[in-house]
Amino acid sequence: MDFDLSDEQRALRDSIHEFASRELNADVVERDKTATFSREAWQKCADMGLLGLPVPEENGGSGAGALTTIVALEALGRGCTDSGLIFSVNAQMWACETPIVRFGTEEQKQRWLPGLCDGSVIAAHGMSEPGSGSDAFSLSTTARHEDGGYVLDGSKTFVTNAPESDLVLVFGTIDKELGFAGVTAFLVERGTPGLTVGKPLSKMGLRTSPMGELFFDGCVVPEENVLGKPGQGMLVFDSSMVWERSCILASTVGTMARQLERSLDYARERRQFGQPIGSFQAVSHKLVDMKVRLETARLLLYRLGWLIDRGESATVESALVKLYLSECYVHSSLDALQVHGGYGYMTEYELERDVRDAIGSRLYSGTSELQYEVAAKGMGL
């Protein structure tokens, strides 16, 4: 097992880190206060090729493998302090692009993927409902077949990118008695009669990533906008979740590296009681804990990318990565804030925002509790 990066991967990592540090950090504190999504920064990410990483070249993407994509996102997290922007980028890639890549018809791929890669199209993924979150397939949204299409009725909530979206991948059931076997995936364009985008939702963290509700009231979707086949919604969703769990926290490894570098510098420079605070075990041990989390998280993440690139099953491994990285991210963010003391609590130091952003990682793409269940089931329990 060799995790040594190729020259091309190192060059990609370095170029993305430099790009993100230079181009993506303007006015993040203010945009976080006002919950403002930066379309300009989004377009810069697209122009850099980030939005097209997992998409085949013939569809406008880069055709990057899992490990290369992970390395790129780690570099993005190290250089970019706008975790909300990164979250929106991930939401588009894993919950919208990869399902179209795997299950889309040639017409659907040609119609949507180039725009999703070049930044001109923003997509959202509608699964969660007011009454169904972790129990993803207890859906109330229905899809009734009628006159060569489907009529959607219902609502979705906690939809990342919804206020800015041009396209929504939404899940509804064609027959509640069939349970998960009735769930079907649909591609719904903004402006479709019967689709209403609700007002933006206010969040604790990831505030620069827009989130909203979607309402479907007699929303007619043509048959050619079914993604996969009717009743294949579970397969579409589960496939996207493996990729999402695998990669959505790759950027947090870069964030943890940035936090550690910053905390080490501060611990060497900040003096109390006549000596650098890093000489006190209460501080130095926190920094060691941060280093352990960083290195173990990176190894677990890289191994997962290696498995996916080899074509091996990674259901358990992706759940473990999602679970472990989210916990590491939260604890390292708290430790970085603690090392900086009162300064860390100040908005301008941007460490308190890391804590708020990190908390969400325990919830999105399946809660930590759900990841335990996925891993346990995969272990035969």
Active site residues: 244
Closest CA to 216 of 241, 189, 236: 189
At 344, the amino acid letter reads: G
Written as six digits, the tokens of 323 are 């679970």
Chain-centre distance for alpha carbon 253:
13
Closest CA to 321 of 258, 257, 251: 251
- Cβ atoms of 83 and 25 within 8 Å: the answer is no
Chain-centre distance for alpha carbon 124:
12
Rounded-to-integer distance, Cα 254 and Cα 106, Å: 36
Residue whose structure tokens are 């790759």: 250
**Which residues, in sequence order, are bridge partners of residue 93?**
none
Closest CA to 201 of 276, 278, 124, 264: 124
